[in-house]
Structure 1
Amino acid sequence: MNLIRIDENGLHLVFEKKEDGTCKLLHFSALPFDESKILRVHDRRTGEVKIQTERYNVLEIMISGQDRPGERHGNKYISTAPGYRMQLVDFVDKRNALGRKLEIKMHDDVCGVDTVSHMQFFDGIQVVRCWTDVTNVGDEPQGLEYVSSFALTGIEKEGLLSTDDKMRVWYPHNGWQREMQWESYSFPQLGLARCQPEEIQRSSKVIGATNIGNWSTKEYLPMGLLENTETGSNLFWQIEHNGSWHWEISDQMGSFYIQLSGPSETESHWWKNLQPGETFTTVPVCVGSTVGKFDDAMGELTKYRRVIRRKNDDNEKLCIIFNDYMNCLWANPTTAKEIPLIDAAHKAGCEYFCVDAGWYAAGFWWDNVGEWLPSYERFPNGLEEVMDYIRSKGMIPGVWLEIEVMGICCPKAARVHPDWFFTRHGKKVHDRSRWQLDFRNPEVIAHANEVIDRLIRDYHVGYIKMDYNIEPGIGTELNADSVGDGLLGHERAYLAWLDSVFQRYPDLIIENCSSGGMRIDYAMLSRHSIQSTSDQDDYLRYASIAANAPSGLTPEQSAIWSYPMKGGGREEAVFNMCNALMQRIHQSGHLAEIPESDFTLVKEALDYYKTIRGDIKRALPFWPLGTSRFTDTWISLGLKTDHKAYITVWRRGAPDGRCVLPVDFLKGNHDVKVKCAYPENHNTACAWNADKGTLTVDLPAPICARIFELEY
């Protein structure tokens, strides 16, 4: 075998240059390569045993009109054409400012296409960022139906046990008010049990996840984890796209594979007619591997997410935002309501104050959004009076916006050309009494720029909560090869527009909100410094979302609501503050009307946050009790630095107030000092057991939360 071995940052990759001119990816793992684990097939006719690597394609690509001679069953993206016959042209191994970079260049004579499979390493992080370029170097258009960003066969090969017994897939289920809920499943539980002799194991069954449309995380986060419980190794990934995406795991001739991509024809109505001389680039994906637990994989992802993110002051300062929406004004702001809230937020120690939805309309506003002009019924002396008052209190003002839509009753919508909007079957696409603006249109860009410029110029806005509350579906047919092609073009144009806004206003903070957490993806979060995690208005349930949030995004980008209720009492106020204290505080609740004793606890929490936010921005997450379900009576989240760990513990109705939390990375450390850090007058006992590596806590009430510090 003619092998190319790549060992970098704890990852081991092995490629094979075959005699037929193709290139195969045989291995991608934190475990070393063991050639004996490559599938060997016994030929029953000749008795010969052969190493079978023909299916280990670096790239899968489907072009219209091409035969697929290999057996695949169903809609699986294997045996693609020309994927199976791509010829290796060059294998480039170089370095850049980020780290090592591989470029596997291939060509297909039949279709006249060149491809480049990019693999970017990052120094000190066990991940690789992958994407594919496809260039039409022929004389005829070529119809792209599918192009993988990453493809790997042999994901099950390490260890001796059957895949039925050792492989588990971790899914991050996502949905409105139930974001970031992880579950793990065995292959048989997902319908992919062993059912044939190993050398011919193949089926029509696919396990995976797909998003179709503009809400990128309405059902799942675009990520996952594959665990080999026998070897203790894992493979994890995220797809960095704000629209349609797809990943799948299945079997082929005795091996199992995984493939990651953006939109595809079968799943999301995407088809690209690639013209001669034209290049198409897939969406980027991140793939990594560790030998260790779920926490280790999420730690590597956290480090990677910080590297690819736009550099900005917000993720350095971690300022505290007050927003008047949740369990407070509920999108019904007026000058009279805002003034006492501004005073209270300032007194508590907030640093930004955001006026949420409703500032642009006198009454019902849902279906007339789009012009973004202040309502003088709500603000008799103009919105600028409120914005200036916020500034006078030393806070930076912000407003809610939903720039990507126009309501069907918006006066401006009747004055603009229909090509401003998504169209299918000759009709404008409606959703929830809104129309979707198409950011490929230069006039739409000009409209969006005018709104942003005016808010900053006239109202001195420094913070925008950018919401998005519709799902326009599979795309638009205008100026596109397919509706999915139109959607992808719009999404990339929207990202380019965001980039241009941040270039003009580098200090502007734009929160990524999509009806809570419906676009928690790193196409958006590589630009935005902060992300709404949920619209969940029950603080007890929010604890599960808050605890799991650092799996989906970095803690310093993760905006968690805290909204103490009027008359809620001490433990309710503390619980609310503990939800947010180890990430980004999105303070709300009517601070001007809660009891003084509860307000004191809010201020204590915000003061404490300002002492630890320097650690939050560089800490890595861990989960002493595992990720949280809504039914859990005990929940825990940890953040660790090189000198200190912070652990939030929530008791949610557990009958016994004592909980033992494993902290494995500190096991055997007898120098750990532990204390309850919030609240100060806590009535809470805690103890560190060095030999077992456990923290024992006593929480005094059935509904109760505390934050502990472990210094080492």
Structure 2
Amino acid sequence: MEYYVEMKLRKDAHNGGFSNGLTLCGGESTRGLEKIQVEDSKIVYKNNTNHYVTLNMVHNKDTVEVSTLFENKGTEGTTLEMLSSFALQGIKADKIHRLQSFWSAEGKLRTETIEELHLEPSWNRCGMRVEKFGNLGSMPVRKYFPFIALENSETHEFTAVQLYSPYSWQIEILCKEDETLSLVGGIADRDFGHWFKHIAPGETFTTPKTVIARGNSLYEVCDKLVKAQRPDISELDQDMGIMFNEYCTTWGNPTLENIKKICNQLKDKAVKYLVIDSGWYGKNEGWWASIGDWDINYEKFPGGLKKAADYIRECGMIPGLWFEFESVGRLSKHWDNSEHLLKKDGVVLTVGDKRFWDMSDPWVKEYLNKSVIQTLKECGFGYIKIDYNDTIGIGCDGAESLGEGLRQRILSTQEFFRKIKAEIPDIVIENCSSGGHRLEPSMMELVSQASFSDAHETTAIPIIAANMHRVIQPSQSQIWAVMRGSDSNQRIYYSIISTFFGRMCLSGDIYDLSEEQWNLIEEGMEFYKEAADIIKYGKTILCENSTKSYNNPQGEQLVIREYGKKQLVIAHRFENSKEISLDFLENRELIKEYGVIDCDFTAKAWLIG
């Protein structure tokens, strides 16, 4: 396998081999690069118009971080239409692993052979074969995660890639001359992502980074990629604390009265955070339509939010508050504030009932500083849930291309995340985007936690939660267990055990629960605490799942996570399930167990030494 660079400049010819329109790789721009320097940490190329391209490589213990720097040292401007973050060639592989993702169904493993993808080289090696996929817009985890793994099943070698791109991205698999594959990825290009970038003489451009791992199993390479992420975890959030989010309790209608009611139920229950979700603002016109108006609803919160935050703290918990600060709802007073809203082709960009602030606009930054940061400070909130419930799409005005306009605005959003942390250093930030649409590593590195999905009460929760082990750190993956007074003991076990895949988040009608139900929940909370180190520091070594449908899961799931000499084993049975084999208990010490797994839609967890 060899590292190299792919590039397309506007002035240069496209590649042949029937590839124009499929890929911008392999054209005159790439062929015109001369390699002038090779070191362990970088490869430097130069073309005949004094453009220098440097592939920077940071070799860590288990991974390689790569990014590409373009420098225009010539006398004329040029336009980049594609520049790879990473490019690998000479890979021998026969299977491709990707992670598909839609709303409330994140991270489904998709495995295909080279033959199924039609990536065998043509008989005389003249036709380019291309599989190109990615995402367009400001929800980078929609349809696919920015991840791929190539497997050589003969040698059991895996090469996996995770792209750090919070905006439009692409990954390409290519073959032409021989039986090996090339793998290329980065910013979604001129053809795929409506992106191009003018580079004047003396200017530079650096791509988003990529992390690459190699190993002998899919579990191994995924674990290496996930552990290479460096999230900015709040000092307050190092202990895997349990949270309660009231959204599935009030359904967007929090009030001081019902927050107090929740607090009174939780104050002796070892819950660390209580998050007030959507609907605390506006004029009782619905939480969705009022987004953008962050004026406290004093009918719901007499005396203001500080009174609610203070009561939460008096009950021993850290108060949290929900925002969707990048968006403006249809009933917002800012709906027609077109001067500061994103536009596409000169027209305000509208998606359903949403419009979007231009996050690079100084007026918007100041407005959000007052509305978001000052509200958090003045009311004493220690936790912020940042939601984001639709996508900009292919891009927006404000730069030389729609894709570049998008890229710049998303980088401004990330800067606002950093500003929140700079202004309130110990705050716990949760990354949410209709659940999991922003579970992408550059976003995950800015936050303490993330909402794993909006699958709050579905039977697919344990499937989605287990999927997340391949792409984000479980210690950041916030998994919901929604409690109802009508829940059977089996349902409580099923829900609580699902949270053992990451961070436990409770919700629901907790004041309707019986003493017996609370006893089961608290028993699960104690199990979670004892398993916390394995969840946080461990490695997932097995994930067996026989189901295909997320709406109607069939079969069983068994997941084993290991840390030191201890293992956390999590089993769920779905419809038409079989008994779970307990072979993993042979010759092991049983430390603790929780749950009952004796029929469909039951679950059990074991701690073994």
TM range (shorter): over 0.9
Cα distance in 2 for residues equivalent to 1:304 and 1:556: 14
**Aligned: 1:144 with 2:80:** yes
Higher-Rg member (1/2): 1
Q: Is the 8 A contact 1:315 1:556 kept in 2?
A: no
CA deviation vs aligned residue, 1:667-699 (integer Å, no higher than 9, x gap) = xxx7521355224xx5xxxxxxxxxxxxxxxx2
Candidates 591, 601, 606, aligned match of 1:703: 601
Task: Return the alpha-carbon distance in structure 2 between the equivalents of residues 518 and 546 of structure 1.
Answer: 14
CA pair 704-676 structure 1, distance change in 2 beyond 3 A: farther
Matched AA of 1:64: R
Is the CA contact 2:233–2:428 (under 8 Å) kept in the aligned structure 1?
no
Match for residue 589 of structure 2 among 666, 673, 681: 673
1:113–1:136 Cα contact (<8 Å) kept: yes
- Corresponding position: 1:174 with 2:174: no
Q: Cα distance, 1:113 vs. partner?
A: 1.1
1:553 is paired with a residue whose SS is coil
1:460 and 2:380 matched: yes
User: 2-side partners of 1:655 and 1:265: how far apart?
Assistant: 48
Q: How big is each residue's C-alpha offset from its partner over 1:45-82, in whole Å with a ceiling of 9 and x where there is no partner?
A: xxxxxxxxxxxx71111001112465462322332332
Amino acid across the alignment from 1:438: D
Greater Cα offset, 582-591 or 569-578: 582-591
Change over 3 Å in CA distance of 1:366–1:69 after alignment to 2 = closer
Specify every segment of 5 or more residues in structure 1 that has no aligned partner in the other structure, as ranges.
1-26, 29-56, 94-101, 157-165, 683-698
Paired residues of 2:14 and 2:27 also in contact (CA < 8 A): yes
* Structure-2 separation of matches of 1:655 and 1:603: 28
Offset at residue 314 of structure 1 (A):
5.0
Separation (CA, whole Å) in 1 of partners of 2:390 and 2:225: 29
C-alpha displacement of 1:512? 0.5
Matched, 1:652 2:579: no
Q: Counterpart of 1:540?
A: 459
Deviation, 1:234, is: 0.9
Q: CA deviation at 1:661?
A: 6.2
- Does the residue aligned with 2:520 lie in a helix, a strand or coil? helix
The 1:635/1:655 distance shift into structure 2, 3 A limit, reads closer
Contact 2:554 2:577 in 1 (8 A): no
Give the 5 Å matches for 1:149-168: 149-156=85-92, 167-168=94-95
Where in structure 2 are the equivalents of 1:99-138 lying within 5 Å? 102-110=41-49, 112-122=50-60, 124-125=61-62, 127-138=63-74
Give the direction of change, closer, same or farther, for the CA distance of 1:69–1:564 in structure 2 (3 Å limit): closer
**Which position in structure 2 is the counterpart of 1:223?**
147
1:356, CA displacement in angstroms? 0.7
* CA spacing shift, 1:81–1:395, aligned 2, 3 Å: same
Shift in CA distance, 279/556, structure 1 to aligned 2, threshold 3 Å: same
SS in 2 for 1:660: coil
Distance in 2 separating the partners of 1:440 and 1:143: 23
Once the two structures are TM-superposed, the CA of residue 344 in structure 1 deviates from its matched residue by 1.7
1:495 aligns with 2:414: yes
For residues 468-489 of structure 1, give each alpha carbon's deviation from its aligned partner in whole angstroms, at most 9, with x where no partner exists.
01111111122x1111111011
Return the offset for 1:142.
0.4
Partner of 2:9: 63
Cα deviation, residue 439, structure 1: 1.5
**Separation in structure 2 between the aligned mates of residue 515 and residue 603 of structure 1, nearest angstrom:** 29
Which residues of 2 match residues 371-410 of structure 1 at below 5 A?
371-410=293-332
State the one-letter code of the partner of 2:260.
Answer: I
**Tell me, what secondary structure is at the counterpart of 1:206?**
strand
**Displacement of 1:345 after TM fit?**
2.4
Distance 1:517 1:62, change over 3 A: same
1:269, CA displacement in angstroms?
0.4
1:518 corresponds to 2:416 = no
Q: CA deviation at 1:655?
A: 4.9
SS state of the match for residue 225, structure 1?
strand
TM-score, normalization by structure 2: 0.95
Distance 1:68 1:549, change over 3 A: closer
* Shift in Å, 1:701: 3.1
Specify the alignment match of 1:600 in structure 2.
Answer: 519
Question: How many angstroms apart in 2 are the aligned matches of 1:137 and 1:90?
Answer: 17
Determine the C-alpha separation between the residues in 2 that align with 1:234 and 1:582.
24
Letter matched to residue 106 of structure 1: Y
Distance in 2 (CA, whole Å) between partners of 1:653 and 1:344 is 34
Q: Is the 8 A contact 1:72 1:252 kept in 2?
A: no
Task: Please tell me whether residue 187 in structure 1 is matched to residue 114 in structure 2.
Answer: yes
Partners in 1 of 2:209 and 2:286 — Cα distance? Answer: 41
Asked whether the 8 Å contact 1:619–1:641 carries over to 2, the reply is yes
Q: Deviations over 1:415-458 (max 9, x none)?
A: x5x34221112110001222111222122222222223222222
Out of 88, 97, 100, the residue aligned to residue 35 of structure 2 is 88
Contact 2:43 2:56 in 1 (8 A): yes
- Listed as ranges, the matches of 1:462-477 within 5 Å are 462-477=382-397
Matched-pair contact (CA < 8 Å) for 1:547–1:636: no
Aligned counterpart in structure 1 of residue 542 of structure 2, from 623, 628, 631: 623
Q: Secondary structure at the match of 2:360?
A: coil
1:314–1:647 Cα change, 3 Å: farther
Matched, 1:557 2:476: yes
Cα distance between partner residues in 2 of 1:155 and 1:69: 21
Contact 2:234 2:427 in 1 (8 A): no
What fraction of aligned residue pairs are identical, expressed as a percent?
Answer: 24
Q: Is the 8 A contact 1:678 1:707 kept in 2?
A: yes
State which of 353, 360, 366 in structure 1 corresponds to 2:288: 366
The CA deviation string for residues 302-326 of structure 1, in whole angstroms up to 9 with x for no partner, is 3212xx3225325521111100113
